[in-house]
Structure 1
Amino acid sequence: MKKMIGIVGTNSDNSTNRELLKFMARHFKDVAEIEVVEIKEIPLFNKPESKEVPPLIKELAQKIEASDGVIISTPEYDHAVPASLMNALNWLSYHIYPFVDKPVMITGASYGTLGSSRAQQHLRQTLDSPELKARIMPSSEFLLSHSLQAFDDEGNLKDQIQIKKLEGLFSDFVLFSEMVKTFNQTHLLNKKEAENFSWENL
């Protein structure tokens, strides 16, 4: 049984991205254990001189490192991911590096027609940064548009075509996470590069 972490990419109390991850946790329970985690309580990143990372961030980093893969579901604000998600990623690349070579699947739900497509592209670029170095599943997008109308009263997706697409993408992600395990020849080097990287030295 795969163990996955599903990160709700917003601090909103009423997010359809949270609903999407909860649906995935239920729908794929026979394939993977998906723990849905929140970023609502993460403090504002302030680059402390002590280089001390808050316990909440350390706990999340440990969960990411122990997982077989991470699913991030993001809304789109002004063609980008929410500030709260960027804040979380800032902490998760500050003297801790849980995302290095970690398989990541990106999903997104939005109230409009585009399904967070630009935010997903923004997130891909961020996760590919020198301090994060995640392994993002290529050529895949799950874009849930009109998300306020997408779920029934039990929190299940109503559109069978969308469900089939999500099933296919998640099946691919399980295979992708297995493949990434074989890409371990440079893991220690990648982690060391992330640790040593500094924009000030460029």
Structure 2
Amino acid sequence: MSKEMKKFVALVGTNTKDATNRKLLQFMKQHFAGQADIELMEITGLPMFDKPQDMHVPDRAQAMAKEIDAADGVIISTPEYDHAVPAILMNAIEWLSFGIHPFADKPVMIIGASFGSLGTSRAQEHLRQMMDAPEVHARIMPSSEYLVGQSLKIFDDEGKLNDTEKVAQLEALFADFQQFVNISKELWHSTQVDKELLDNRNNIKA
């Protein structure tokens, strides 16, 4: 792998088998293989979040956090259920912002695929609000909404997007995301302060 090639973690925002959001991330992994190392991360295997009194974070969440920490950025692909993200994705983010803060100042790109014609606009807005929460504190790429509607029809038998306009849009947004990651690295002055503030909040939690 080239020294200049960035490493991204791609969170599959659902546990649904044969999910089109997983297919979208798999397509990105293959399509951008010459530009970046994209590794898919499933969000299964976590218990239902129930704030533990002993502040214990499950091993699975700690392992996920370690991979996110080591990545240059994160891509999250979410479906839309009742104008919101799936409960399993909310659960994962809750664990990944409880005592650990891998998303703090981490560049994040949000995308999504949906069976319907409207895509995942409201779910993406919901996810942006979550990722911007004080305990998460991600750096979310602005003006980057990527909506894949009618997702059952948009992938061919080989898992490739068969809509050339959607592919071109994704290529442009991914190029912007890589530049956003570069810019974010220049904002290092606040990163250490932000993480110290998050750690202090953990120490005073009831």
Q: Same fold (TM over 0.5)?
A: yes
Q: TM-score range by the shorter chain?
A: over 0.9
Q: Distance in 2 between matches of 1:17 and 1:122?
A: 17
- Normalised by the length of structure 1, the TM-score is 0.96
Contact preservation (8 Å) 1:9, 1:72: yes
Q: Aligned-residue CA RMSD in angstroms?
A: 1.3
Alignment correspondent of 1:117: 121
Q: Please list, as runs of the form range in 1=range in 2, the aligned pairs for 1:45-64 lying within 5 A after superposition.
A: 45-64=49-68
Please say if 1:135 is aligned against 2:139: yes
Determine helix, strand or coil for the equivalent of 1:129: coil
Q: Please list, as runs of the form range in 1=range in 2, the aligned pairs for 1:119-198 lying within 5 A after superposition.
A: 119-197=123-201
Alignment correspondent of 1:2: 6
Aligned length: 200
Alignment correspondent of 2:70: 66
Cα deviation, residue 55, structure 1: 1.0
Q: Which is further off, 36-45 or 112-121?
A: 36-45
Residues 128-166 of structure 1: CA deviation (Å, up to 9, x unaligned): 000000000001111000000010000000000000000
Structure 2: runs of 5+ lacking an equivalent: none
Q: Any runs of at least 4 consecutive aligned residues in structure 1 with deviations exceeding 3 A, and if so which?
A: none
User: Percent of counterpart pairs with the same letter?
Assistant: 54
- Normalised by the length of structure 2, the TM-score is 0.94
Cα deviation, residue 12, structure 1: 1.1
Please say if 1:20 is aligned against 2:3: no
Residues 66-102 of structure 1: CA deviation (Å, up to 9, x unaligned): 0000000000011011100000000000000000000
